[in-house]
Amino acid sequence: MDQLVSVGESVEIYVESTRSSLNDTTPGLSLRLLGQLTITRDGEPVRLPSSRKLRALLAYLALAPHPVSRSRLCELLWDVPNDPRGELRWCLSKLRGALDEPGLHRIETEGDTVALRLADTNVDALEAAAAVAEGIETLGLGRLRALAPLFAGEFLDGLELDRSPHFTSWLTAQRRRFNSCHVAVLEHMIALLPQGADDAAAYLDKWLELAPFDGRAHVALLENLARRGQIGAGEEHLATAAELFHSEELDFTPLREAWHEIRARNASAAPCARSGPGLVAPQPPIVAVEDERAALRRASLAVMPFAESTANFRGGLADGLTHDIITRLAKLRDFFVIARGSVFALAEKDIAPEDAGRRLNVDYVATGSVRSLSGRVIVSVELVEVRTARIVWAETFEHRPDEIFVVIDDIGNSIVSSIAAEIATVERNRAMLKAPNSLNAWEAYHRGLWHMYRFTRQENELAQQFFNDALKLDPTFARAYAGLSFTHWQNAFQRWGDRDRQTALAFEAAGHSLLVDDRNPAGHWAMGRALWLRGDQDGSLLELAVSFREVVHSDRTEETGVTTLQHPSEDPNEHP
């Protein structure tokens, strides 16, 4: 069965989800893009001309989701003063000779477009992309072991083109994407490996080679060393890692604390392991150490500075848009947002967004670009889940460049609302798949939201239960108090319970929300609702206005809060 997968910027491909992993003896035609580009037919190498542009053309067409115009290919790969169409015809002719078979034409031209048909071809990059689309975190150990050898090297390793900026940009994006995919495969595979697996050390070394500043990789390696009794090696690695982190001015404290916890845990388990010959105390699989404050974990996001094609300096439209997005998302208080200074400092060092996400240990990274074309400002943006390399959301916005502040405001509104909504959806869906007794505060809150917006008495009771669970784990969770307040508001409004008692509970929960965080829009929204139930319409409108001002500035509206604003003169006591 075919499925649609995403590879890089605006690139989607249909691939066979049941295709087996590529190897040197795979029957039929195989195309390797991860590492040096090679073609094999029934295990035998297929010769290609030495032309770098021919190889670049082949790779680009292999990942293209639809036929590409000849003019686009010429712009991508050739200088205008040359004869680009003539060179393109030569390259296509050579590719036909290498790829086509009797009765089977893989290079198709129709009108002014060119397409490469690979339905029967094994392509390593497409298989890796399919795994990301499927969800690397959902794959079993066997599938992950089969995927790991696909990453024989960097995407199109050794291939560079001079004076081809468009292709270079595309190539950089693909290398970044597949590197992130490789890291995700290694991380999730290591988490599933049984204790004592012979290949664990090799996979850990590769993970650290690809992501040397990923704290989870260092913790996983230290855990592995400690379980093997190699405490001295762990101390040596910790010292080396400390120098590495300090050289980049990164916080090393979490890693040092993790090592102390690992040593203490393994020291306490050591006597059990020596209780008898051949007896080894049971150990969990190799995983990154859970922080003792795991119950308080919330989603985190880094918005990396947007790239601007027409500016070689900081401070232009792209930077203004980035700053605005960071500020608005932080105001929402929905999740933890990395400060502007941290992301710009990493961007100045030319750190790729996915790498920055791992250095900052965040769950999501948003990045984008700004360019001007034919009197339009075009902003492309994508949101990536760091640990799975999955593109959660991608979009392109266009606007007339009449007023720079209008562009920032309009497009910024759309980006902020989309990012907040997409992260909420992913987190809610993840929470729904977990056992209720395994949820942390953040997950319990999102589980509560899912039930709350079903708007039935039974679902409202379940929502109330999950909000209370969240608050037991994190008594400082302002939004959980706001959600709890709304469940009591619904009980009072719908007459599902004693109206006076439910009104008092709604007011009490809203008060706790504001006590914890008086700048959280959800808290003011909850208080406005509660005051409306109490008949204090002036106070209600004041609180709702505070909440409304924040969410409207970020192009978000809490539907229930807006409903109250639209009917300020209604008497709450007249409702059924």
Question: What tens digit of pLDDT does each residue of 24-55 get?
Answer: 556 789 999 999 999 999 999 999 999 999 99
Phi/psi of residue 50, each to 5°? Answer: -75, 0
269: pLDDT confidence band, cut at 50, 70 and 90?
low
113: pLDDT confidence band, cut at 50, 70 and 90?
very high
The radius of gyration computed from the CA coordinates of the chain, to the nearest angstrom, equals 27
Query: Which has the minimum average pLDDT: 127-141, 355-369, 398-412, 532-546?
Result: 398-412
Cβ pair 494, 456 in contact under 8 A? no
Q: Can you give the residue ranges of every domain in the chain?
A: 2-176, 193-275+284-290, 296-420, 436-574
- Identical fold for domains 193-275+284-290 and 436-574, yes or no, is yes
In whole angstroms, what is the distance from residue 200 CA to residue 314 CA? 43
What average pLDDT does the segment 190-206 reach?
92
Within 13 Å, how many C-alpha atoms sit on residue 114's CB side?
21
Scored b (16 or more CB within 10 A) or e, 545-566 reads ebbbebbebbbbbbebbeebee
Strand 336-337 and strand 364-373: the pairing is: unpaired
For domain 296-420, the question of CATH label 3.40.50.10610 is answered with yes
Strand 113-116 and strand 300-303: the pairing is: unpaired
The predicted pLDDT at position 7 comes to 44
The predicted pLDDT at position 375 comes to 76
List, in sequence order, the alpha helices (H) in 103-247: 124-134, 141-147, 165-192, 200-210, 215-227, 231-247
In whole angstroms, what is the distance from residue 264 CA to residue 55 CA? 54
Per residue in 530-565, pLDDT tens? 999 999 999 999 998 888 776 544 444 444 443 443
Between helix 215-227 and helix 253-273 the angle, nearest 10°, is 20
The predicted pLDDT at position 272 comes to 45
Residue 409: pLDDT above 90? no
From the list 437, 432, 426, the residue with the least C-alpha distance to 447 is 432
What average pLDDT does the segment 336-362 reach?
93
The predicted pLDDT at position 253 comes to 93
Phi/psi of residue 2, each to 5°? Answer: -85, 155
280: pLDDT confidence band, cut at 50, 70 and 90?
very low
In whole angstroms, what is the distance from residue 157 CA to residue 125 CA? 13
23: pLDDT confidence band, cut at 50, 70 and 90?
low
Residue 310: pLDDT above 90? no
In whole angstroms, what is the distance from residue 145 CA to residue 17 CA? 16
User: What is the dihedral sign for C-alpha 348, 354, 358, 360?
Assistant: positive
Q: pTM of the full predicted structure?
A: 0.76
In whole angstroms, what is the distance from residue 326 CA to residue 388 CA? 23
From the list 330, 331, 388, the residue with the least C-alpha distance to 182 is 388
What average pLDDT does the segment 251-278 reach?
73
The predicted pLDDT at position 317 comes to 86
Give me the CATH code for the 2-176 domain, please: 1.10.10.10
Structurally, at CATH architecture level, domain 193-275+284-290 sits in: Alpha Horseshoe (1.25)
Superfamily of domain 436-574: Tetratricopeptide repeat domain (1.25.40.10)
From the list 272, 231, 409, 255, the residue with the least C-alpha distance to 328 is 409
Specify the amino acid at residue 232: G
Specify the amino acid at residue 40: T
Spell out the residues 6+ positions from residue 478 whose beta carbon is closer than 8 angstroms to its own: 333, 513, 514, 516, 517, 520, 522, 523
CA distances from 490 to 535, 548, 567 (A): 16, 20, 17
% of the chain exceeding 70 in pLDDT: 84
